[in-house]
Structure formats: C-alpha cells, structure tokens
C-alpha cells in the first residue's frame, strides 16, 4: 500500500494537549524555527543559499499569520515533552516496520502550522521525496480535523512511483500533474485528530494549501539508513527520554542528537 489511513490510531486527548502547546507557542511567538522570508509569493527553499542568494529571515513577527505560509516548532521533542511518547509509539513503529518492510530510523520530526493566506510553501506543490536507501516512509498526523479540500489535506497520486511524470525533476505544477495523470488518480486524504496517514515518500504528493482555517500537522519521516548529507540539522532528544526508550526501539533515534 502506498498511502492509507489508520483511524483512531493515536490518543486524541494527548494530541489535543500537544496542539494546545503549539497554539501557545505561536501566540507568544516562542520556540519557533527561524522563518524565511517569502520571495515572489513563495517560501524560499534552503537550496536558495547554495546559488549565492542569501536567505533572509523575518524579524518582525507581529503579522506572522499574514507574512508567511507556515511556521515550524523548533526542537519539538525538547519543547513538547508529551510528543516523545507519540513519536516512539510502539504501534506506529510496528506499522512502519511491518507494512513498509524496513527497520525504521527517524529522519525528522516536525510540527507545522499552515496559514490560509496568499503565500505558498514548497510542500504545497506536487513533489517526490527520494531520500534514503529505500526512500522515506511518512506518518502524517493531523492536529486538526481535516474533512474538506478547504481544510488543506495531504494528497497523493496513486501509482506515481511506478508511472513517474519525470526522472529528471522532483517538483511539478498542478497543470503538469493534471496533464499527465488521470484526475481519478488524485487522492486527497481526509482524517481526524487521532488518525494517522501512512505514505511512501516516493509517490507524488503535496499538502493542499488550506483556505478555510489554519491547519496544524505532525510529520514523522522514517528511513532505513540516513545519508550523511541529511544529518546537518539533527533532531534533539533529551538524554532522560533516550534512556526511557526500550532497547528494541533505540534504532529509531540513531539520527538524533542526545543532549
């Protein structure tokens, strides 16, 4: 299976508590990852810096919800202790290990708030994620109920790993994708807080831009082996939480910086 939903997979009350903490961080403008400035209506990717174009960051956050398409929580496993039990949940681990047939290592954990404004994030465009030896496996956990296109669901194109639109590029416009694939292949994935979407990163997918309300999502990427160029910004984990992880699941944290 390339993309499917497990309903009521995680404790809704725990996720509500995490969402409340995220709400407070954003309201107070604290524990947020540095926010890149929008250029030409789009959040600039980090690769921009590699082309001798310096990335600028927002310093005035007073109109944050209008000035950027999204924000990320900084060091989520340190700043939201409740999140540790979700990320290392045994059912989540077993689902990835069994259905995707790999011994998973966590490549990254992020909590993102998407705003219903005029700006786009790269994830709002159709793209492939091709990292790792076998490609990544993704757990998408909505921290809101997402039941309409206007809410901004995760979306994918069935069988696009086998029938690739291109082997030369990884990002595509809506028009390119609509011209190449049958519309019936498009699959918006709806769900409620507590449901988990499991997906392969090597299928064409995107996060539909929300237009009705803000959307908050927890995303966990799993790989078999983490390549060296993907370890520049390691996930930080408190050493006390590290020692609580059962021996059989410590491999999940091999890409983490224990502090």
Average of per-residue pLDDT across 83-100: 89
Cα atoms in the 13 Å half-sphere on the side-chain side of 164? 13
Radius of gyration of the CA atoms of the chain, in A: 18
Q: What is the pLDDT of residue 22?
A: 98
Pick the most confident of 19-28, 29-38, 97-106, 119-128. 19-28
Residue 144, Cβ neighbours under 10 Å: how many? 20
pLDDT band at 84; cut points 50, 70, 90: very high
Expressed as residue numbers, the domain containing 80 is 3-258
Q: What is the pLDDT of residue 249?
A: 82
SS3 of residue 131 by DSSP: coil
- Residue carrying structure tokens 């930080």: 236
Average of per-residue pLDDT across 109-117: 97
Cβ 201 vs Cβ 94: under 8 Å: no
Average of per-residue pLDDT across 20-25: 98
Beta-sheet pairing, 235-237 with 256-258: parallel
Cβ 35 vs Cβ 112: under 8 Å: no
Nearest to 70 by CA among 220, 234, 214, 219: 214
Q: What is the pLDDT of residue 242?
A: 92
Residue 201, Cβ neighbours under 10 Å: how many? 21
Q: What is the pLDDT of residue 223?
A: 82
Average of per-residue pLDDT across 78-97: 93
Q: Read off the tokens for 6.
A: 């497990």
Q: What is the pLDDT of residue 2?
A: 78
- Say yes or no to pLDDT of 51 above 60: no
Average of per-residue pLDDT across 46-52: 54
Q: Read off the tokens for 109.
A: 């954990």
- Element spanning 87, H or E: helix 83-87
Cβ 120 vs Cβ 69: under 8 Å: yes
Q: What is the pLDDT of residue 151?
A: 97
CA quadruple 226, 128, 110, 26: dihedral positive or negative?
A: positive
- Residue-wise pLDDT for 153-209, tens only, equals 999 998 888 888 988 888 898 899 989 998 778 899 999 999 999 998 888 999 999
C-alpha angle 14-20-22 in degrees, rounded to nearest 5? 105
Nearest to 220 by CA among 259, 253, 183, 187: 253
SS3 of residue 179 by DSSP: helix
pLDDT band at 58; cut points 50, 70, 90: very high
- Residue-wise pLDDT for 65-78, tens only, equals 999 999 999 999 99
- Residues of the chain with pLDDT > 90: what percent? 58
Q: Look over the chain and give the mean of its residue pLDDT values, rounded to a whole number.
A: 88
- Say yes or no to pLDDT of 28 above 60: yes
Average of per-residue pLDDT across 124-142: 80
- Residue-wise pLDDT for 226-238, tens only, equals 655 555 568 999 9
Burial of 200 (0-12, 13-18, 19+ CB in 10 A): buried
Q: What is the pLDDT of residue 201?
A: 82
- Say yes or no to pLDDT of 132 above 60: no
Q: What is the pLDDT of residue 246?
A: 85
Give dist(CA 78, CA 204) in Å, integer. Answer: 32
Give dist(CA 34, CA 54) in Å, integer. Answer: 14
Cβ 106 vs Cβ 93: under 8 Å: no
Average of per-residue pLDDT across 68-97: 94
Q: What's 136's domain CATH number? A: 2.60.120.620
Q: What is the pLDDT of residue 197?
A: 96
Structural domain total, the chain: 1
Give dist(CA 234, CA 113) in Å, integer. Answer: 21
Cβ 227 vs Cβ 27: under 8 Å: no
């Amino acid at each position: 299976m390339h993309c499917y939903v497990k309903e009521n997979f995680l404790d809704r009350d725990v996720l509500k508590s995490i969402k409340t903490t995220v709400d407070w961080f954003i309201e107070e403008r604290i524990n947020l990852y540095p926010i890149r400035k929008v250029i030409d209506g789009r959040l600039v990717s980090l690769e921009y810096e590699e082309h001798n174009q310096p990335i600028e960051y927002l310093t005035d956050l007073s109109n944050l919800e209008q000035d950027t398409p999204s924000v990320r929580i900084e060091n989520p496993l340190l700043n939201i202790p409740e999140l540790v039990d979700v990320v290392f949940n045994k059912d989540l681990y077993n689902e990835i290990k069994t259905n995707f047939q790999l011994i998973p290592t966590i490549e990254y954990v992020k909590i993102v708030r998407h705003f219903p404004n005029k700006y786009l994030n790269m994830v709002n465009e159709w793209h492939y994620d091709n990292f790792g030896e076998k490609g990544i496996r993704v757990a998408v956990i909505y921290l809101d109920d997402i039941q309409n296109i206007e809410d901004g669901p995760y979306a994918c194109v069935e069988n696009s790993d086998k029938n690739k639109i291109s082997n030369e590029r990884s990002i595509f416009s809506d028009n390119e994708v609509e011209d190449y694939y049958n519309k019936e292949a498009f699959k918006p994935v709806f769900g409620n807080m507590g449901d988990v979407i499991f997906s392969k990163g090597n299928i064409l997918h995107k996060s539909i831009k929300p237009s009705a309300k803000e959307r908050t999502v927890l995303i966990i990427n799993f790989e078999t082996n983490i390549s060296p160029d993907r370890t520049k910004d390691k996930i930080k984990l408190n050493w006390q939480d590290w020692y609580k992880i059962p021996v059989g699941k410590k491999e999940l944290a091999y890409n983490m910086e224990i502090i």
